[in-house]
């Protein structure tokens, strides 16, 4: 019964995470994107052409010079016009800047909020200051409500990311990110089952400490604030190296 209730909490957490993403997209991220000048029109659609579309889908998206000349004779088009068609067709499959901005805004909001929650919770925990406390009386350690909620929120977020990949516009790193989310879910679940929750909270907090800087840099890049983007990326790099290459080991 206890395991069933926890599973129900996780499912509700996933649903709430998806609902918050929709709310953030419609009422927060999209208005912010429009205010900073991001176009809502998306990429221009090319003129439909059955022959070029067949080559694009089944042969190559980057035709070589020999194929371009053959298509030019077949369609009686100029080579430059065919190159332009393929370029616009490739851009048509790319996710619009508005969508990427909204996704980064949602992730930035979550990473910042969960990091602040984690720091506030861990600041009063003894294992935050002395990591030997992570294994004191292990595995008979109490699971506090704050610690439980911290784990459920992290787990629900990564489950929602894995599900949303199938409804979002597919990107080149789809498989890599799918494996990353799956590994993260596996590690969080494994540490929870084995009651390694104290050290698990430290690991999650360390990883979240740099993620919101990266998402903030992406937001600045999409909004074409290059100086701000570069500054945030430098901060992200420093925090990443200090936390994941220094403190974490």
Do the beta carbons of residue 127 and residue 202 sit within 8 Å? Answer: yes
What is the mean pLDDT of the segment spanning 137-150?
A: 88
Query: Percent of the chain scored above 70 by pLDDT?
Result: 80
pTM of this structure: 0.73
Residue spans of the domains in the chain: they are 2-38+95-247, 50-93
For the structural domain made of 50-93, what CATH number should be given? 1.10.10.60
Q: Please give the Cα distance from 121 to 115 (Å, whole number).
A: 10
Distance linking the first and last C-alpha atoms of the chain: 38
Q: Please give the Cα distance from 106 to 28 (Å, whole number).
A: 9
Looking at 13-27, 33-47, 83-97, which range is the least confident one? 13-27
Q: pLDDT by residue (tens digit) across 59-109?
A: 777 888 888 888 888 888 888 888 888 887 777 767 777 777 888 888 898
Give me 168's structure tokens: 């979002």
């Amino acid at each position: 019964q206890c395991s069933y209730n926890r599973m129900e909490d996780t499912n509700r957490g996933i649903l709430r995470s998806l609902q918050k993403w929709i709310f953030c997209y419609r009422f927060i991220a999209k208005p912010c994107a429009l205010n900073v000048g991001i176009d809502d029109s998306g990429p221009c659609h090319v003129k439909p052409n059955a022959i070029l579309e067949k080559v694009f889908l089944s042969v190559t998206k980057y035709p070589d010079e020999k194929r371009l000349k053959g298509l030019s004779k077949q369609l009686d088009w100029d080579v430059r016009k065919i190159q332009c068609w393929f370029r616009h067709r490739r851009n048509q499959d790319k996710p619009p800047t508005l969508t990427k901005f909204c996704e980064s805004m949602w992730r930035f909001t979550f990473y910042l909020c969960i990091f602040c929650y984690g720091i506030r919770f861990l600041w009063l925990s003894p294992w935050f200051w002395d990591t030997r406390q992570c294994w004191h009386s292990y595995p008979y350690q109490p699971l506090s409500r704050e610690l439980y909620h911290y784990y459920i929120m992290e787990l629900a977020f990564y489950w929602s990311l894995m599900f949303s990949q199938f409804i979002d516009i597919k990107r080149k790193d789809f498989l890599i990110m799918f494996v990353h989310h799956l590994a993260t879910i596996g590690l969080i679940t494994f540490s929870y089952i084995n009651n390694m929750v104290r050290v698990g909270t430290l690991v999650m907090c360390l990883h979240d400490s740099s993620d919101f800087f990266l998402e903030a840099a992406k937001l600045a890049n999409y909004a074409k604030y290059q100086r701000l983007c570069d500054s945030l990326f430098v901060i992200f790099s420093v925090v990443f190296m200090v936390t994941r290459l220094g403190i974490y080991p």
